[in-house]
Structure 1
Amino acid sequence: ATSEWQMELSAAQSRLAAKRRERKSAASDVAVAVPDMARPTTFEDDSYPPAELARNPDAKRLRRRFSLARRSEALFSRGSPLNLPASVFAGAAALGFLSYMTGIHDATYVRADGLAKQVGFLWAPNWTFLFMVLLPLFFAFVTELLVFWKNDGRLKLVAEADQAKSDDAWAHNVEASSYSYWAVFLICVVFAGLFQWIGVCLLPLMKGGGNYATDWGKLAIVRPELISVPEEIVFTGLAYLYMCLCFYLFFVGLILLYTIVHDLWTIGGASENRPEADYQREVNEVGLRVMCGIFRCTVLGVLIAICMKAQSAYLTSRGENVVAWLVGDM
């Protein structure tokens, strides 16, 4: 009887051990499967939100397609509002330090008529005041207005205040101007950047002449003891690269301002059948906010154009430096 009891006890212990092994195996399988299920979905290009990816059967292919319009808009609307203005300011400051290191930050040359003219890099308003004050302010105002429209203003006016649907509609509006972004990119980078640098700086520096007024970019021709031709070529190349990218972003800001105004006009036209007093008050408040932002950006755009024209006019004038020339012209 004792031996039979021991055999039954051993069999029971074996069955219990087998059940424990099965439970441990099942628990390990669940532990492996849970992280895979709980792993958050990542998107290579979050310009397409999950709602749109779920509706579009070709969403995976679309989100992998590069879009200059969406990437350019993301520079203004994502991250801190100070990112873009601070980057532009930092680039201008870096060029200023490089000009100081090369010795062209404060330089004069004597023209054929005997006038000693200041043509230093730091004395050029279209390379200092424009890129360190006006353009960062323009980007800050565009970013502020764009973030307001996407996250607040647009949601107040659409019939269904759904953030995902509003983001989808805005992304579609941005993508509709894709050709405009590419056209501006090619004009700014290829023509205003590369070709202008070759014609205005590279060829005169290599051939030692040209029909352009002497400025900091051609000091190696009239003041070879101050800076060498290779140094001047490298510095002007960096400056024009920075300039063409900044002006591409400037035109991107203008395109985004147009997109905001057109979106506001479209939503306002589609909601004319909503005569509620509260809704009309919301429309007026949002419209006033948008118009104020457009006005500030317009004023800065005009000042940017004046700043560029002032430098070219000074180079052909009889002023000794740009400050004295402006004061004497008033």
Structure 2
Amino acid sequence: MKKTEKYYVPLPTGEVEFQKLFDFLVISGIGMPLSRDGGPIGAWTPDLITEAMSSHGESQNDVDLRTVQLWFQDNGKGVSPKNIGRLAVIFGCGDPNQTAEIRLKLTSAQIRLEANRRAYKKKHQSKIYEQAAVGTMRQPEIKKASSSLTPAFRTLAEKVEWMLSGSRSMNLQILYWLVFCGLGLFNYIVGTLSVTYSPVKGLDKQVGFIWAPTLNLLPMVVLPIYIYYISNITTYWKRAGRNKCINYGNEATYQSENDGWLAKVNELSFSFWAITVFCFLFVFCAQWFGIYLPAYISGEINDVQMDRYLVTLVRPDVITIPQSMVLSGIGYLYTASYIAVFMFGLLLIVAIVFDYHDICTTLDLEEVLIDVPNIRKEGQKIVWGSYRVVLFGLWMATLIKLQITYLSTDAKNTVSWLVTDFLSLLNMGQVRNGWLDNTSIGHFTTFLMVMVAVAIFIVTIQKIWNIFDKLSLYDDDFTFGHDRNVLLRMSFVILIMSLNLTLLGRFDGFSLVLALSVLASLNVLSGPKLRNF
């Protein structure tokens, strides 16, 4: 039948499933231009429908090719009302009556599809209560068998997760504050809160406790925020986010209490042990026994950086060698512990990302009906959580790099070093920062920290994107454009932070990049809170 030189056949009668109706429209070629024999020139394809929509006065950005491709899949989601109207215009052959009929037919099919989805969810929701009832009756037996409920028998991985989640993370923050106060009191007693030495004639260089960013800004500001964000995402995921992703009608993904989450954490047990051993052997032992102890014994500093722990070699009137040995030993244990927390936090992010990926992959393989908005939101929350953790992890590395770079300069103190650099950028200062002949293993440590943090962020984005693509979580109601700008902003901030850390002190004007990094980091405040997102 011809309708304004376009092909048309009568629609199926009765109630037709949405996907079958849509397939009929595209395969039969309704609305396609006529061929010489009176039939359609071919069937509709995603590309042709996208092109047809753009030719009817719609912005091409409103619906992209990928969204249209989803309509050709039997994914149980259907099409939004706005796009049903667009399809009706295309299939209506320019006839108002035919357009209205197709719109009505598609709308009715979409309503039935949504009703079936709600019925399906309600049916499987009822299984939650049945399983919860069974779990309640068996609760004493489960608790007896679960290692996660017996603190004395927790694995190292479980102990770390336990320590960095819930209100217990506040205990860790308080512990670090107490150690910070103790170190400050010790330095006050021995007189190294503010102490100088003369590396060259005419220069009194400050190496005191209160002038070290790693001993004031890091434990007072950055480390507590880092621990808070780790606790925030970990606690949310295991108590709420994970359950929202699990389809309770699927026995393969249902787990009692937190057993499924702890099983995922325990899969990384080797990594938790490896981090612990690495931080003890290389961050503490290698530096204290390999660098500081030989210097204390020989009395020679060689080309090692002079700091508050070695100043005793040139200022024995301020602090004795035995006092410095005790102070440096405690200080490097403290350093090893917060670098371990840094790596533990990133490892928990990995556990969350892989847990989300495995749950969603199981749902996909078993072809169960999923709650698309919920699955998508939980993935977005994981991205935001990992971004915040990585950002403040980079700030931990930046403060360490700031301290060790300052100790290699001929500046009197950290503040004058930054001010001199900024003035040199504006050509307002006559003095330029110079360098001393020393080195520090800390440069390699901070390089590893930034590499690991950035790698974790990239893995997070890649894994979440993989699930979004596999489960077709972007559709005509929520396109990739909604997330693209957010991901670009996140990537820009991470890039600025990484460049700032890598190039810190290596060119005139680095202080401006440092200031820009501080401003860029405020982007973290624009993100949603996990519980009300």
TM-score clears 0.5: yes
Pair 1:199–1:160, CA change in 2 (3 A) = same
Pick from 146, 150, 174: which aligns with 2:234?
146
**Offset at residue 69 of structure 1 (A):** 1.1
Aligned to 2:474: none
Pick from 260, 284, 301: which aligns with 1:193?
284
CA distance in 1, matches of 2:292, 2:205: 19
Aligned to 1:108: 196
Aligned: 1:156 with 2:247:
no
CA contact (8 A) 2:163 2:169 kept: no
Aligned to 1:43: none
**Offset at residue 63 of structure 1 (A):** 8.4
Residue 304 of structure 2 aligns to a residue whose secondary structure is coil
Pick from 405, 419, 441: which aligns with 1:313?
405
CA distance in 2, matches of 1:93, 1:64: 30
CA distance in 2, matches of 1:291, 1:242: 30
| Paired-residue identity, % | 30
**Offset at residue 160 of structure 1 (A):** 2.2
Pair 1:126–1:64, CA change in 2 (3 A) = closer
Pair 1:50–1:208, CA change in 2 (3 A) = farther
Residue 320 of structure 1 aligns to a residue whose secondary structure is coil
CA contact (8 A) 1:125 1:311 kept: yes
- Amino acid across the alignment from 1:67: T
**Offset at residue 114 of structure 1 (A):** 3.0
CA contact (8 A) 1:85 1:137 kept: no
CA distance in 1, matches of 2:376, 2:347: 23
Alpha carbon RMSD of aligned pairs, Å? 2.5
Deviation digits for residues 145-198 of structure 1 (CA, Å, limit 9, x no counterpart): 100000000011112299962511111111111110111111101221122112
CA distance in 1, matches of 2:296, 2:261: 47
Pick from 174, 177, 183: which aligns with 2:274?
183
Alignment of 1:192-211 (within 5 A): 192-210=283-301, 211=303
Aligned: 1:73 with 2:164:
no
Pick from 373, 377, 395: which aligns with 1:285?
377
Aligned: 1:96 with 2:184:
yes
CA distance in 2, matches of 1:207, 1:51: 60
CA distance in 2, matches of 1:137, 1:194: 28
Aligned to 2:351: 259
**Offset at residue 65 of structure 1 (A):** 5.0
**Offset at residue 51 of structure 1 (A):** 2.1
CA contact (8 A) 1:81 1:144 kept: no
CA contact (8 A) 2:284 2:332 kept: yes
- What TM-score, normalized to structure 2? 0.49
Residue 197 of structure 2 aligns to a residue whose secondary structure is strand
**Offset at residue 89 of structure 1 (A):** 2.2
Residue 271 of structure 1 aligns to a residue whose secondary structure is helix
Alignment of 1:1-330 (within 5 A): 50-51=141-142, 53-54=144-145, 67-160=155-248, 165-210=256-301, 211-272=303-364, 273-276=367-370, 279-329=371-421, 330=511
**Offset at residue 246 of structure 1 (A):** 2.0
CA contact (8 A) 1:51 1:164 kept: no
Deviation digits for residues 121-151 of structure 1 (CA, Å, limit 9, x no counterpart): 1111122211221111101100011000000
CA contact (8 A) 2:356 2:379 kept: yes
CA contact (8 A) 2:222 2:392 kept: yes
Higher RCO structure, 1 or 2 (CA under 8 Å, sep 6+)? 1
**Offset at residue 271 of structure 1 (A):** 2.0
CA contact (8 A) 2:276 2:340 kept: yes
Residue 289 of structure 1 aligns to a residue whose secondary structure is helix
Q: 279-288 or 162-171: which moved more? A: 162-171
**Offset at residue 90 of structure 1 (A):** 2.2
CA contact (8 A) 2:345 2:389 kept: no
Larger fraction in helix: 1
Aligned to 2:19: none
CA distance in 1, matches of 2:285, 2:154: 24
Pair 1:79–1:96, CA change in 2 (3 A) = same
**Offset at residue 258 of structure 1 (A):** 0.7
Pair 1:97–1:322, CA change in 2 (3 A) = same
- Amino acid across the alignment from 1:204: A
CA distance in 2, matches of 1:312, 1:178: 33
Q: 197-206 or 300-309: which moved more? A: 197-206
Aligned to 2:449: none
CA contact (8 A) 2:165 2:230 kept: no
- Amino acid across the alignment from 1:254: L
**Offset at residue 77 of structure 1 (A):** 2.1
**Offset at residue 67 of structure 1 (A):** 1.7
CA distance in 2, matches of 1:310, 1:50: 54
